[in-house]
Amino acid sequence: MSRVKLTDVTKQYDDVTAVDNMNLDLKDGEFICLVGPSGCGKSTTLETIAGLTKPTSGEILIGDREVTNLPPKDRGIAMVFQNIALFPHMDVYDNISFGLRLRNFPQEEMDERVEEAARVVRMQGMLDRMPSEMSGGQRQRVAIARAIVRDPDVFLMDEPLANLDAKLRVNMRTELQRLHKQLETTIIYVTHNQAEAMTMSDRIAVLNKGELQQIAPPLVCYNQPANRFVAGFIGSPSMNFADATVGDSTLDANGYSISFDTVAIDGVGTGDAVEFGIRPEDIYLTENSAEAADPSRSFSVTTDVLEPMGDEIFVYLKPILGTGAGEADFEEREGLLMSVDPSSDISEEEDVEIVFDRAQLHLFDADTGDAISHGVVADADVEADSDGVQAD
């Protein structure tokens, strides 16, 4: 158990910056997920912590030790790899005890520890199997046993579940959480799967293009994304975005306008270009507008494609056609995605009325993408009068 601290860690490959000025401060026993799209530098960050890659600049602390220039074996870490990386020429026992043998543990203690580690991952009685004789899930469990047997300060996991099938992945996810509860070791977990990140971690670190975007508990990343990237990356299906301009007391997008109190929000003034985002579940049919904390006025839209998921239905909406907008404009704009209750009576190509929950409307700076506000405070007036679209 140890805290991990990265200070200004940068890794450059020739002219590509894989990790850019990364600062992370992980608490003892924390389960941290590094998430981001492919090539965002999350694996490189993990490799620098592991010592497999040397950072171009910056400093890494594990516990109270500076480990920036230490080889991996002296860092007190253990790692689980995406491709599992069991040694194919060794049986399960030899794989698990590999690190112990290198450290010259006495035979009895080695046996004890291997037994214990095998018990934790429920692989007792399979110690004489070869990796080629096991299924993917079993191999992954052996890899985890190999990591826990040395009782490391920090676990590093590089997409350990990526190569497993969907059912096994969910299964192993639960087991990893159980393991974390049991061992209380700091875990740094890299994944591009945001569902894994949301469900398992204490905090999520969202990375993009080598830069840390936000590090916060999962629900904070979800409800108060620090910028447009985090807002778009966390959550499935993704948040809806649209360009808009701030009016006197309205937010004017192409084709619709939402009234809000400009004064109540710092950092925006009339005429500012912003981008607003709203999650599919924060769009309601007008008949259900009572469920929204702070419904906006309603808009007429036409449904496009339905995706019934069982517990909800994803409804793709055709773009809202502004009165003054031409055909070309219509083509260019993206449709909205909303999520409705499966009991809703909704069909394709149907005209429906929708409202946005203004309490869940996110505003981002159009240039920097930084979040300005999460939720726009409503005007006193209820916007019942305006029906449908409103041109700028």
Partner 1 sequence: MSIDARNHEDAETFDGSDDGSDDDENKSPVQRWADDWIRNPEKAYAVMLVFLGGVLLTTSLFPLYWLFNVAMAPPGQTDIPIVPATIDLSAFVQVFVQVPFARFMFNSLFYAFTVTLFVLLIGSLAGYAFGRLEFRGKTPLLFSLLVLSFFPPATLFIPLFRAFNQQVPMLGLFTLPVELYGTPGAVITPLSAFTMPLAIFILTTFYGQIPDGLEDAARVEGTTRIGALFRVIMPLSAPGVATAGILTFITVYTEFFFSFLMTGNSAAEWAPVVDGVIAFQTQYTVRYDLQAAASLIAIVPVAILVVVAQDKIISGLTQGALKE
> Which range, of 67-75, 196-204, 253-261, 352-360, touches partner 1 by CB under 8 A?
67-75
In this structure, the number of other CB atoms found within 10 A of the CB of residue 80 comes to: 23
Candidate list 19, 34, 50, 234; residue touching partner 1; CB under 8 A: 50
- Gap between the Cα atoms of 326 and 123, Å rounded: 65
Q: Which CB sits closer to partner 1, 141 or 150?
A: 150
Radius of gyration of the chain (CA): 25
Q: Which CB sits closer to partner 1, 98 or 330?
A: 98
Does residue 27 bind partner 1 (CB under 8 A)? Answer: no
Does residue 79 bind partner 1 (CB under 8 A)? Answer: yes
CB of 285 to partner 1, least distance (A): 50
Provide CB contacts within 8 A for 13, sequence distance 6+.
none
- Say if residue 318 is exposed, middle or buried (CB neighbours under 10 Å; 0-12, 13-18, 19+): middle
CB of 173 to partner 1, least distance (A): 21
In this structure, the number of other CB atoms found within 10 A of the CB of residue 342 comes to: 11
Please count the residues of this chain forming the interface with partner 1, following the rule CB under 8 A.
Answer: 25
Q: By the 8 A CB rule, do 292 and 284 touch?
A: yes
Give the phi and the psi of residue 378 in degrees, each rounded to 5.
-80, 155
DSSP, collapsed to helix, strand or coil, labels residue 90 as: coil
Does residue 37 bind partner 1 (CB under 8 A)? Answer: no
CB of 116 to partner 1, least distance (A): 17
Does residue 72 bind partner 1 (CB under 8 A)? Answer: yes
Count helices and strands in the chain by DSSP H and E runs: 9, 21
Q: Which CB sits closer to partner 1, 17 or 82?
A: 82
Does residue 146 bind partner 1 (CB under 8 A)? Answer: yes
Does residue 52 bind partner 1 (CB under 8 A)? Answer: yes
Q: Which of residues 84-143 bind partner 1 (CB under 8 A)?
A: 84-89, 98-99, 102-103
Query: Residue 154: CA atoms inside 13 Å, Cβ hemisphere, count?
Result: 29
Q: Which CB sits closer to partner 1, 156 or 372?
A: 156
Q: By the 8 A CB rule, do 205 and 34 touch?
A: yes
CA distances from 81 to 46, 60, 114 (A): 11, 21, 19
Q: Which CB sits closer to partner 1, 103 or 178?
A: 103
Does residue 301 bind partner 1 (CB under 8 A)? Answer: no
Describe the crossing of helices 166-183 and 136-148 by its angle, rounded to 10 degrees: 20
Candidate list 8, 16, 57, 73; residue touching partner 1; CB under 8 A: 73
Does residue 77 bind partner 1 (CB under 8 A)? Answer: yes
> Which range, of 72-80, 309-317, 320-328, 358-366, touches partner 1 by CB under 8 A?
72-80
Please choose, from the candidates 141, 112, 113, 120, the residue with its C-alpha nearest in 3D space to the C-alpha of residue 129.
141
Does residue 83 bind partner 1 (CB under 8 A)? Answer: yes
Q: Which CB sits closer to partner 1, 95 or 227?
A: 95
DSSP, collapsed to helix, strand or coil, labels residue 196 as: helix
Does residue 326 bind partner 1 (CB under 8 A)? Answer: no
Footprint on this chain of partner 1 (rule: CB under 8 A): 50-52, 71-73, 77-79, 81-89, 98-99, 102-103, 146, 150, 156
